[in-house]
Amino acid sequence: MYKNSYLYSYNYDTNESELCKLEAKYLFQKEEQDKLLFSEIEVEPSSSAFIKKRLHITLCSEDYSTLIQEIKAAEIKVEGFKVEYLVLDGDKTEYKERLKKLKDIGYSIEGIPDYYNPTITYALTNYNGTWLFGVLVKNSFDWHKHKQKPFSYSNSIGVHIAKSLLNIATKGNKATTLIDACCGVGTIMLEACFAGYNIEGCDINWKVCRQSRANLAHFNYTANVYRSDINDITTNYDAAIIDLPYNLFSCADEDTLTHIIESTTEITDKLVIVSTIDISEIINKAGLKIVDHCTIQKRRMANFARQVWVCQKLD
């Protein structure tokens, strides 16, 4: 049941739970439950802000002794390995017993371990009475460096949201071509470049375009940023992400929002839109179908929430 599948462990705040579940739906075709998710789909943990660890289950057994025998029979030979115990909710195994089991596994692998700079990390865990063993990969959190970009504003979306928008728009397919239709200072573009996506951005405001280019250059990323109205973009893309303006640098009345959304539908069939107000009527008038929707509450700001709209052009 579990062998050769992946176990993903999650971590998220309550205010981002809807977004996390929506992201999981597009990456794995199902939602995480109790911050865990089993899937046969392989996803790099660092591509998500919410996935902490991924265990590739290679062996499993309800009997611990049988599992150890299977590990020995696998004749694993590797230098510089490490073994960790992955504690899941409901696992009553005491700390001393966990250490003993880790030693059992360590002695079943041929090679010299390296606890500080391992070449590979194995893990043991117990899920609902079944022992699972495999290769553990952790979220590197290297993308946290983007929080220190040279230019940013308090109203800008966070990197957590940006990473999820990308996963929702692409379903994890790196071949997807993307346009960030209101790129601002480039938060979404930074995450796209980090993950290896082909993305371009545009914004009508010259100042934020210049700052977006500076942010990309700061991290040695290369992507086109056009100082342009989205209506002037003629290239077709697989998907668009639109973080609609909030009346800070650009006008955000209904006519402007309608113009942005309708113009974007001319160059793509799929749109992931972020707004701070209900734009369902505008979306419908633009000839789009709302496929999914979620709300993200801003921490410590009860009166402020972002809406994420996943839209598809009607046939």
The three-state (H, E, C) secondary structure of 169-218, written as one string: HHCCCCCCEEEECCCCCCHHHHHHHHHCCEEEEEECCHHHHHHHHHHHHH
Q: What is the pLDDT of residues 20-63, one digit of tens each?
A: 999 999 999 999 999 999 999 999 999 999 999 999 999 999 99
Whether 82 and 111 share a structural domain: yes
The answer to whether residues 224 and 272 belong to one domain is yes
Read off the tokens for 125: 């865990």
Q: What is the model's pLDDT at position 299? A: 67
Across the chain, which has 315 residues, the per-10-residue mean pLDDT values are 94 93 97 95 97 98 97 97 95 96 97 96 97 97 95 88 98 97 96 97 96 98 97 97 73 86 97 96 96 86 83 91
134 and 146: one domain?
no
* pLDDT for res 289: 97
Are 69 and 150 members of one domain?
A: no
The parent domain of residue 13 ranges over 6-138
- CATH number of the domain to which 66 belongs: 3.30.2130.30
How many whole angstroms separate alpha carbon 180 and alpha carbon 188? 7
How far apart CA 295 and CA 285 sit, in angstroms, is: 22
Out of 73, 108, 138, a domain closes at 138
Pairing relationship of beta strands 51-61 and 6-10 according to DSSP bridges: antiparallel
105 and 163 share one domain: no
CATH number for the domain that contains residue 249: 3.40.50.150
- The Cα 62–Cα 127 span in angstroms is 10
Domain-located, residue 296: yes
95 & 164 share domain: no
Whether residues 128 and 152 share a domain: the answer is no
Give 189-230 pLDDT, tens digit per residue: 999 999 999 999 999 999 999 999 999 999 999 999 999 999
Among the three residues 138, 167, 196, which one is the final residue of a domain in this structure? Answer: 138
The confidence score (pLDDT) of residue 252 equals 67
Q: Are residues 172 and 85 in the same domain?
A: no
Do both 231 and 104 map to the same domain? no
**The predicted structure's pLDDT at residue 302:** 60
Environment class of 249 (CB within 10 Å of its CB; exposed 0-12, middle 13-18, buried 19+): middle
Query: How high is the pLDDT of residue 138?
Result: 97
Task: Determine the pLDDT at residue 253.
Answer: 83
**What is the pTM (predicted TM-score) of this model?**
0.93
- The answer to whether residue 1 sits within a structural domain is no
- Residue 235 falls within a domain, yes or no? yes
Q: Let me know whether 300 and 176 are in one domain.
A: yes
Q: Using the 3D structure, point to which of 77, 110, 138 is the last residue of a domain.
A: 138
Residues 242 and 108 in one domain: no
pLDDT of the residue at 303: 67
150 and 171 part of one domain: yes
Domains contained in the chain, number: 2
Instruction: Establish if 12 belongs to a structural domain.
Output: yes
User: Would you say residue 89 lies in a domain?
Assistant: yes
